[in-house]
Amino acid sequence: DAKTTQPPSMDCAEGRAANLPCNHSTISGNEYVYWYRQIHSQGPQYIIHGLKNNETNEMASLIITEDRKSSTLILPHATLRDTAVYYCIVRVGANTGNQFYFGTGTSLTVIP
């Protein structure tokens, strides 16, 4: 079962930052936070992951609170192509065979 809580939907104006929140209050010390997105029923696409430090890559930034009970995915300059369902997932370890538990995610709509 998914161990995360996300708002079902959000809107964001094109060019503005999109901030997608995720609660994972029962996260364990060895669980990582991952973000994937699914564009229009395509296969999910990896975005970013982290354990406790904030992370940034070419797609997004991940901000994890100090107590690790919540996190925020930031798309710094949202474009129309960022319209997708965004999944926040917690998973044990980075080198285990454990599957990802996808919840229902946040449906982000970027508005022109």
Per CB under 8 A, 8 contacts other proteins: no
The count of residues interacting with other proteins (CB under 8 A) is 25
Is residue 106 within 8 A of residue 19, CB to CB? The reply is no
Residues 6+ apart with CB under 8 A from 39: 45, 81, 83, 84
Count Cα atoms within 13 angstroms, Cβ side, for 102.
13
Closest separation in Å from C-beta 107 to other proteins: 10
Binding to other proteins by residue 95, rule CB under 8 A? yes
The single residue among 25, 28, 56, 104 that binds other proteins, judged by CB under 8 A, is 104
Q: What is the SS3 assignment for 81?
A: helix
Residues 13-32, one symbol each (x = binds other proteins by CB under 8 A, - = not), give -------------------x
Query: Is residue 53 near other proteins by the rule CB under 8 A?
Result: no
Rounded distance, CA 86 to CA 95, Å?
Answer: 23
Q: Which two tokens stand for residue 86?
A: 């965004």
Residues of the shown chain interacting with other proteins in the complex, contacts defined by CB under 8 A: 2, 32, 34, 41-46, 49, 87, 91, 93-105
